[in-house]
Each structure stands twice: as C-alpha cells, then as structure tokens.
Structure 1
C-alpha cells in the first residue's frame, strides 16, 4: 500500500474524454484518465483565464477561437519577435553569424533569457515591438508600458496575433528565416535554460511532429523544475507591476504556442493566467488539460493514461530502479502520461512501500508508482510493459 494524494482528482469535477465523448468524473472516480481525444470546444479549468486560437492551414479556417483578441503579457513568447526582427534584413542569403547563432539557438530552443536581454538592449527594446507590429500587421501587440521598457516579457500579445506570427513564418518569411526559426522550435529542449520543464501544453497534448515556443512567469513558480529545485524566484521577465496596466502583470502566466501535425498543419496559441499562488505543477496540469481539449483533426495524440503525482522533485529514472542517475525531475504535483507499468525495485516511503513503476513515454523514463495519485500499488487499467 502507499499514500493516495488526490492532488488533481480532488477538484469538484474533472473532464474525461473517451472516444471523443465527454464524460463527467467526480472526485471519487479513479485517479487515472485515458489520453484525451479532441473535444468539441475549449475546456478551460476553473480559475484560469485563457486566450486560445487554433488555425488549420490546410482548410484555411480556425477550429478553435476563445478570447482571441484578449491581451496577455507575452513573457518568453516575445522571443519570436526578437528573432524575427534580427533576421529581417540579413541580406539575400539571410546568413546568421556564428556569434548570433550561439545566442538565437538557445533563445528559441531553451528560452534563454540572457540572449533575449542581449537583443532587447542592442536593437532598440520597445522599438523592436513597434517595428514588428507594423511589419506583421499585428492588432493587439504592444510594447511594455511606460516606465517598464526594460521588461521585454511585459510586451502585450494576443492569441490571434500569435497565430499571425506563425502564419508569417510558415507562409511568407524567406525560406532561410522559416527554416532557422521553425527548425529550432522543433528542437525545443524539455529543460529550459533556467531549468524549468517547458514541455507543457502542446508538447504534452500532441505527438510529434510539433514545434513550440513556450512562456512562463510567476513568483509562485519554484526555480528548477527540471533539476534539484531551489528557492522561489521571480523570472527576469517580471518586475514590479505598474499601478494601472492594461495587461495583467501579476497573475502567474503559462503560454504554449507553436504548430502541430504534418507540414505544420495547425497553428496553436494557448495563453493562460492562473490564480495568484498557483504552483507550477498545477498550472502545468491545467494548461495541459486545456490543450488536450482542442480540436485539431488528424493531429496525432499520445496514447496512455493521465495520472496526478504528489511529492516534490520526483526523479525520472532510466529504468525501474534507483541504480542509475536520474534523467530529470518532475515539477511538483504535475499530471503525467503513463504508457505502461512494470515491477522493479521496491521503493519505501514509510509506512508505505511499492515495487511497481510507471513508464512515462514523454520523458523516456520511469517513476515509482508510490508517487502517483492512485489508491493501489498497481495502477488500474494501465497495461504492463
């Protein structure tokens, strides 16, 4: 036996999607839920504010639209505009100098803040946003508010403008620019440069091929969700909020943007704000559930069962034992996709013990079932590996 922590199943109502049909599961239902099939419309978790747009490039229509013009602080999604501004007039072959490649690649793949600081300070700060608004005919994007020009993460952005940025990249940008930016977004690293696990939202809701640029900021998010943890820290994209700002600069933000499907068929923009004090794992789980509800016909969905976890800094291992070094660590309390389970080393969390382990296909590793929110050592309905 082992502890049963209903970190995520204790909500009044959880949405389970089986074969495309929505079914309500109460808090007393089993903790695991099958990997979601696309729902008919966006499912926004309680307490979350969201702006959502999904554009089908093949059909030329939006399959999802929710608060598409609502302005959110961009956090790291603005790095797309920093990269495009730098690449805008690079000559006929759009060659990226080695020194800039060394900055732009980690900025796009791993959301490196030092690189963003460099391009913001060297190329005009707010003037970058003004230029890109004009070039891409953006409707809702705006520079940081007066007095906060140094905070690039305070740039205002909407879901519909995010779709415009990707459509420019995919349909209008010079080939070398498209290949450079999208190529790096396809190589998104699970652990960001600041050691946050950034494979939430799109990266969890869909199988590859996908390309993503994520964003996050919140004083309640602990630093180091991919590593050993650490003290709570406010990312450099944040700062003291203006007394009267048109965009909410205080609630924790978590954004997932990019493309899914063959030939980048669907452009997806999911911008979210969460109640003050929301943990990273809870926000990660909520944006995951929202993104899994989106309609993207034909886009591949991961197979398995979603389960909540408990405890801080749960190690993901290469095999069902503690013999080898960990691959990474889970954000505290995050929901994970379980592909199968197997017996392995017995893990003790007194007074409980468990020798079953869950394989997490999206991490390529294993966690002990003792850290999964379910009343039994062996997870119900999950096949054996």
Structure 2
C-alpha cells in the first residue's frame, strides 16, 4: 500500500498499523521506506498469518507439522514438527499415482482402463480397496517396487512399518514427514509430465465430499486441490492433508496432524481446515 508524504510521527503510526491489515499486497512503510516485517520471501500478511497459526495450534490436541511453500519466490515456512515421522494414512496414495503414471509413461508397465479407474477412485474418494488392488498388481513379488521409487518423488524420509500386516511393505502402514509431503507436492507441480499432472491436479480440485477439508479450508476463491489422509492407528488418530492454492497453484500446503489420543477424527479435521483458512482465506 502506498501513501503520500505525511509528518514523521503519523507515518510511523500508519506503518505499524499497515502490517496488521489484511491486504496481502501491502508492505508497511517507515520514514526510510523500508519494510516493517523481515524479508523472508513472504509478505507481511502471510508472516502475520503464520504467527496466527502458531498461536492456534498451541491450543489444539496432538502435534501438527506444517509446511507452506511459495513456488513463485521459492520461500518456505515450516514449523517445529515438520520433520516428525507420522503415519502417512492415505496421503501415500498420491505418490502411488505419481509412480504408476511415470512407469506407464516410461513403458515399464501398461496401465489398463481398469487401472485408471482405480487411480481415479484413490484420488476422488481415497478408496482403500482401489489402493489395495493397485499395490497387489504393481508392487512386485517382494512388494518393494513402489517404495524403491518413492524417494525420487521427494519422499526421502518415508519409512514402511513392520508388524501390522502379512504384506511388507504395504501402502497402509508407512510413515513420513510433512517435509516429504511438501516435496511430493512440489514434484507433482514442477516435475511431472504435464500430460500426467494436469488430470491429477484436476482430480485434486474435484475430490469427493469426504476429502473436502484440510487444504480445502483455504476457500473456493483459492481454487484449492488436495489429497487427504485419515486413520486411527495404535498411537491414535492422524489427520493429514496436502495440496495447493492460489493462481497457477502458487502456494503448496502440507499438514500432518498426529493427535496422540488427545483428540479424534473431528478435532483433527477441524484443526487442519482452520489452519488452511487462517493461512489463505481472503488472500485471493
């Protein structure tokens, strides 16, 4: 926001007020014309929103890892729990889709029409039966084919967990970090073949009602897309969401919410959705 020259004291007052105003394009001015907020690659409004999110999650059950990326400036904000290993729940289905489409494009497998229907079901309603079928068909005799490929899509901390099922590794029992999901979303947007990423992004923008939370909380003006994951594990409920918002998918958001038996499905869903609302609602 630009202002005409005023007496020094009035400028100082207005500058302090400006950094708290909701317009995301403003930069608070001082008499020297320098920004009031630190130069982090994020504008004053978003920096203020990050602070609001930190205050909010301190009141919520469990621990929450958050990563926000501005793909235009390259700036990244992450909180203290972004490196915690958390059950992936169904967010891993997104990287399964990425790998299947890559292998099909490289002609190492040939996806059938039925396979594409199963992929669509994983993205739209987070269908577990579809994920089971695709894992059985394409994880190889030792079930490791997917896991060997996942680090190349950014999931470098992904760790399959033993002792929960006869099949190991298995898509439903793995842990990763919020940083992993951030790197995965960046890969989808920046590195996938556009002929593959375009339908994936459209599917993420049009998910079923059961997935319209988390990143969805940014609001319709942000044109969000997301892949959510939720499950009740031996440590309690985990409620995760990863996706994108804004023109040209400028911002990505990843949240992993481990409730540690301090809350349930609804508390976790509400937390994730409110984080996205605080970060992005009203910016677009």
Please classify the TM superposition score into its range, dividing by the shorter chain length: 0.7 to 0.9
Aligned pair 1:143/2:160, yes or no? yes
Aligned pair 1:272/2:282, yes or no? no
Specify which of 102, 117, 122 is matched with residue 132 of structure 2.
Answer: 117
Does the aligned pair in 2 maintain the 1:205–1:291 contact within 8 Å? yes
Does the aligned pair in 2 maintain the 1:73–1:154 contact within 8 Å? yes
TM-score (norm 1): 0.54
Q: Is the helix fraction higher in 1 or 2?
A: 2
Q: Is the strand fraction higher in 1 or 2?
A: 1
Structure 2 residue ranges without an equivalent (≥5): 1-19, 23-45
Paired with 2:153 and 2:240, the residues of 1 have a C-alpha distance of: 21
Specify which of 151, 154, 174 is matched with residue 173 of structure 2.
Answer: 154
Does the aligned pair in 2 maintain the 1:126–1:143 contact within 8 Å? no
> What does residue 146 of structure 2 align with?
128
Does the aligned pair in 1 maintain the 2:62–2:263 contact within 8 Å? no
Cα deviation, 1:341-379, whole Å, max 9, x if unaligned, reads xxxxxxxxxxxxxxxxxxxxxxxxxxxxxxxxxxxxxxx
Query: What RMSD over aligned residues (CA atoms) do the two structures have, in Å?
Result: 2.9
Evaluate the alpha carbon distance shift between residue 283 and residue 91 of structure 1 in structure 2; reply closer, same or farther with a 3 A threshold: closer
- Partner of 1:90, secondary structure, is helix
Offset at 1:160? 1.1
Evaluate the alpha carbon distance shift between residue 92 and residue 274 of structure 1 in structure 2; reply closer, same or farther with a 3 A threshold: closer
Paired with 1:216 and 1:286, the residues of 2 have a C-alpha distance of: 13
Does the aligned pair in 2 maintain the 1:261–1:298 contact within 8 Å? no
Does the aligned pair in 2 maintain the 1:48–1:273 contact within 8 Å? yes
- Partner of 1:214, secondary structure, is strand
Offset at 1:106? 1.2
Paired with 1:267 and 1:250, the residues of 2 have a C-alpha distance of: 27
Cα deviation, 1:265-291, whole Å, max 9, x if unaligned, reads 011001101142634322222222333
Evaluate the alpha carbon distance shift between residue 126 and residue 206 of structure 1 in structure 2; reply closer, same or farther with a 3 A threshold: farther
- Partner of 2:273, secondary structure, is helix
Paired with 1:152 and 1:69, the residues of 2 have a C-alpha distance of: 20
Evaluate the alpha carbon distance shift between residue 200 and residue 284 of structure 1 in structure 2; reply closer, same or farther with a 3 A threshold: same
- Partner of 1:252, secondary structure, is strand
Taking the TM superposition and a 5 Å limit, the aligned residue runs for 1:299-310 are 299-300=283-284
Count how many residue pairs are aligned between Structure 1 and Structure 2.
232
Taking the TM superposition and a 5 Å limit, the aligned residue runs for 1:337-352 are none
- Partner of 1:272, secondary structure, is strand
Specify which of 208, 212, 216 is matched with residue 203 of structure 1.
Answer: 216
Offset at 1:47? 2.4
Paired with 1:130 and 1:268, the residues of 2 have a C-alpha distance of: 25
Evaluate the alpha carbon distance shift between residue 53 and residue 293 of structure 1 in structure 2; reply closer, same or farther with a 3 A threshold: same
Evaluate the alpha carbon distance shift between residue 47 and residue 160 of structure 1 in structure 2; reply closer, same or farther with a 3 A threshold: same
